[in-house]
Structure 1
Amino acid sequence: MGEPEENEFLDDPESLLEEEYHDDPSDEEIEVDSLRAERDELKDRLLRALAETENLRKRAERDRRDAELYGGVRLARDLLSVHDNLGRALETIDDTLRTEHAALVEGLELTQRDLVAVFNKHKIEEISPEIGSKFDPKLHQAMFEAPIPDQPSGSIIQVMAKGFGIGDRLLRPAQVGVSSGGGQAAKSEPATDEPEE
């Protein structure tokens, strides 16, 4: 007689059980799948909550920095007129007034220096363009335009008031006069010798 036929299920009885489970899922498998889905959903919600919390933290930090830097913008704008008035007062003082009222003049100068020191402490910077530099509409305000033969068009010919900025914001633009170009506008129509009627 020959050798008995080998039964494939006798060598691997677990394969028979696996086939039965795959064909008809049990309650345990359904529960495991449901728990996995719930876990994945909770993990996704947790990651979203963590990302939102991080965004809120960054936004709060940025708002705190902005409030620290820009919180006094309105007060700073109001103090610019005080700075301008002190500067005008000091410009009008002549030598006789300086000798006769030295203490008063010194007090005005100290007050202006203190104001400038406070501006520097709060990162308020002066914008003082030089004559001949290029007009920048982001930093300057053109108060007038005049034809100047030696100056190219768009260059600053006079500084009427200094500007100020705080951080990357403009408090007040510098007020300037701007050249309109080569002086051709200065020529008028040729004069005639005819009398006016």
Structure 2
Amino acid sequence: MEDELDDEVDELESLRAERDEFRDRFMRAMAETENVRKRADRDRREAENYGGSKLARDMLPVFDNLKRAVDVITDEQREAQAALIEGIELTMRELLSVFGRHGIEVISPEIGDEFDPNMHEAMFEAAVPETKAGDIIQVMNVGFMIHDRLLRPAQVGVSSTPAS
């Protein structure tokens, strides 16, 4: 009788250990499932936000060329070719509008702004009187951000310590 009782106690302990092992496995599987769900959500958000980065980067020279075209238009050309020039300007505005709808923002530093290596690319450095070292002295190309990531840095000239 005592042997039967010991056998039942052993079996009960064995069942409890098995139950605890299954509970542990279940909890680990639930945690892993939650981690997979979170990772999939993060990957989906990144694909949504940054999936168009390659296309956007390929479109930046189009913006640059339109901007150069608009920047060199003279008053005489504006009068003689008003409709054509208006079409170019409308195309440029529409491109910027499309960029905006997809989270792409222009980084447009001004002369005199402080150089920020996170947003700007120094194309040259020159000593310019009446400036501080690190001041932007020329902007060659604007830069672009896509959401919170740098798509292309603004290309700028930077002042070095002015010559005495």
Q: Which amino acid aligns with 1:124?
A: I
CA drift at 1:152: 1.0
Secondary structure of 1:154's aligned partner: coil
Matches within 5 A, 1:1-197: 26-184=6-164
What is the Cα deviation at residue 182 of structure 1? Answer: 2.2
Partner AA of 2:91 in structure 1: T
TM-score by length of 1: 0.79
Question: Per-residue deviation at 1:26?
Answer: 1.5
- Aligned-partner SS, 1:178: strand
User: How many residues are aligned here?
Assistant: 164
CA–CA separation in structure 2 for the residues paired with 1:152 and 1:96? 39
Which structure carries more relative contact order (alpha carbon 8 Å, separation 6+)?
2
SS of the residue aligned with 2:73?
A: coil
Question: Which stretch of structure 1 is more off in the superposition, 63-72 or 144-153?
Answer: 144-153
Alpha carbon RMSD of aligned pairs, Å?
Answer: 1.6
Whole-Å separation in 2 of the counterparts to 1:58 and 1:162: 36
**CA displacement 1:126-154 (0-9 Å, x = unmatched):** 11112222211111111111111211111
1:66-118 CA-to-partner distances (Å, cap 9, x unmatched) read 00010010100010000010011111111221122111111101100100000
Give the whole-Å Cα distance in 2 for the aligned partners of 1:91 and 1:157. Answer: 18
SS in 1 for 2:65: helix
Letter of the structure 2 residue corresponding to residue 159 of structure 1: V
Partners in 2 of 1:47 and 1:107 — Cα distance? Answer: 63
Deviations 1:17-69 (A, max 9, x none): xxx96x99511111110010000000000000000000000000000000001
* Percent pairwise identity: 62
Unaligned ranges ≥5, structure 1: 1-19, 185-197
Counterpart code for 2:161: G
* Partner in structure 2 of residue 189 of structure 1: none
Secondary structure at 1:26's aligned position in 2?
helix
Q: Structure 2: state its 5+ residue gaps.
A: none
Q: TM-score, normalised by structure 2?
A: 0.95
